[in-house]
A and B are shown apart, each in its own frame.
Chain A
C-alpha cells in the first residue's frame, strides 16, 4: 500500500485527520501484524495499542497503527447513549 494510493483529493488521504481504514489481520510479524484490505492490498501495522491479535481479527488502522479492534459482526453495531 503506497502513500500515492490514498493521498488524492478525491479519495481522501488516510494518513491525515480523522480517516482510518478497516483491515484484516493475516499474520503476526514480531511486534507488528501483516494486514489486508478488502482489495487484497497488504501492509505491516503496529498493533501495540489494541492488545493480542490473531489471524482473522479486524482492526481499524490509522497512519500505520491499529487504533481499535473492530466487532466482527455488523449486527453487533448497537447504538448506545449516555448512561446506558
Chain B
C-alpha cells in the first residue's frame, strides 16, 4: 500500500536497529518515553522493541485519552445519559471505560440512549435529526481531537442549533509531560513526541524539555520505521552531546503546527484551573472547558452532574502504568482479573492503552518469563 509499505520494510528496520545499537554507549541504560498511546500500539503490534538493543527501554506514557479519564467523569456522563430527554454520544473506546457506577455500555443496556459516533459532527447531525431531544457529545482527546470538537461547536452556533451541547474532557499534553518530568518516581532520558498532537500544536511547545531539562525530544510518526528512525535521532543526539527538539514526522508535522486549528481552539475553549488525570492526579491548566462565549453549549452548565471524585479500584495499578513506573504485566490483576473483555482499569480498554497492547500482541508472556528468570 502506498505511503504505508515504505514505512514497514523489515530489512530497513534491521539496518536502523544495527545503527541504533552502534550509537549506544557500552554499559549505559537509556529510558525513552513514548508519550502517545498510538506509538505504544505500533511498538507492540509490530515488535519495534525487538529491533532495539537491551539497554534501550521504551517507557509508555499517558497519551491514551480514554485511559486518563477519571472514574467520576464517567459517572457524570452516565448521570446525563440517564435523563429521558437526552441522547449521549461518544467515541467507541469510551463505551467500556469503567466508572464507579458501571460503564456507558452498562448504562446503555439499562435503557439509556448512548450512541457511538465517529466524529463530533455526527453528534451534531443526530441533534438536527432529533429536535425534541437534548444531544450531548462526551468529548475526550488531546489537541488532535479538540479542534474537531471546536469546529462542531462553531457549526452548531452558526446553524442556531440549541439542543446540542458537549461534556468537555479535552486535555492538553504539555502539562502532563511537565508532571511526569517533575515526578520523583521516574528517571527518563528522552521523549518520543506525539506526532498528531504536534500536527496541531507544532514542535515549539516542547522546547522547555530540551532547554530546561536537558532531554531530547523527537516528534515521531506512527509507522514502525518512523519510530525506529526517531529512536536513531535521539541516540545520535546523545552521541553528539546534544539535547534538542527534532521533527522526524516532517511529512505531516509543521514546526509551527496548524494555526487555523489553534485559532479555533483558542476561540472556543478556555483552560480549566485544574483537572484530575487518572494516575497523575490533579494538574493545573491541563484541560479545556468551553469559553464563556460558548457557555450555551456546555453540558456541565446545562445539566446537573454529580461531580464526585471516585477512587480507582484498589487492585488497579493503571496510575503507575500511565506514569511508566510499572510495566503492564507487573500489575497484580493484568491478564487475570483484568482483560480486554472484562477490564478493571482503563489501560486495558482502549487499543491505545499499554495493557491492551501488551495483552493483544503477546509481549507479556515473553516478559513474564524474563522476569521470573
User: Do A and B come together as binding partners?
Assistant: yes
**A-B contacts, CB under 8 A, total:** 175
List of A residues within 8 angstroms of B264 by Cβ: 48-49
Q: Are B261 and A18 in contact, CB atoms less than 8 angstroms apart?
A: no
Q: Are B222 and A81 in contact, CB atoms less than 8 angstroms apart?
A: no
Q: A43-84 interface mask toward B, CB cutoff 8 Å, 1 = contact, 0 = none?
A: 000101111000000001011110110110010111111110
CB nearest to B230 among chain A residues: A79
Say how far B250's CB is from chain A's closest CB, in angstroms.
Answer: 5
Interface residues on A, range: 35 or more
Q: Are A65 and B250 in contact, CB atoms less than 8 angstroms apart?
A: no
Does B235 belong to the interface (CB within 8 Å)? Answer: no
Interface hits, A5-29 → B, CB 8 Å: 6-13, 15-20, 22
Does B110 belong to the interface (CB within 8 Å)? Answer: no
Q: Are A15 and B92 in contact, CB atoms less than 8 angstroms apart?
A: yes
List of A residues within 8 angstroms of B356 by Cβ: 9
Answer whether A62 and B145 are a contact pair too, CB < 8 Å, given A10-B351, A79-B248, A81-B246. Answer: yes
Interface hits, B241-271 → A, CB 8 Å: 244-248, 250-255, 258, 260-261, 264
Interface size on B, residues (CB 8 A): 68
CA distance in complex: A77, B64 (Å): 26
Does B335 belong to the interface (CB within 8 Å)? Answer: no
CA distance in complex: A60, B251 (Å): 11
Answer whether A63 and B4 are a contact pair too, CB < 8 Å, given A11-B351, A17-B63, A17-B350. Answer: no
Say how far A58's CB is from chain B's closest CB, in angstroms.
Answer: 8
Q: Are B340 and A9 in contact, CB atoms less than 8 angstroms apart?
A: yes
Q: Are B148 and A62 in contact, CB atoms less than 8 angstroms apart?
A: yes
- What is the interface of chain A mostly: helix, strand, loop, or mixed? loop
List of A residues within 8 angstroms of B122 by Cβ: 64
Interface hits, B130-158 → A, CB 8 Å: 140-142, 144-145, 147-148, 151, 155
CA distance in complex: A38, B45 (Å): 21
Q: Are A68 and B66 in contact, CB atoms less than 8 angstroms apart?
A: no
Answer whether A70 and B252 are a contact pair too, CB < 8 Å, given A17-B38, A46-B121, A64-B122. Answer: yes
Q: Are B351 and A38 in contact, CB atoms less than 8 angstroms apart?
A: no
Q: Are A82 and B151 in contact, CB atoms less than 8 angstroms apart?
A: no
18 A-B residue contacts at CB 8 Å? A3-B116, A7-B92, A10-B360, A13-B91, A16-B91, A16-B352, A17-B93, A17-B352, A18-B63, A18-B142, A18-B144, A19-B38, A60-B196, A62-B145, A62-B196, A63-B91, A74-B251, A82-B203
Known: A8-B351, A64-B118, A74-B251. 6 other contacts (CB 8 A): A11-B351, A13-B351, A16-B92, A38-B2, A50-B258, A62-B148
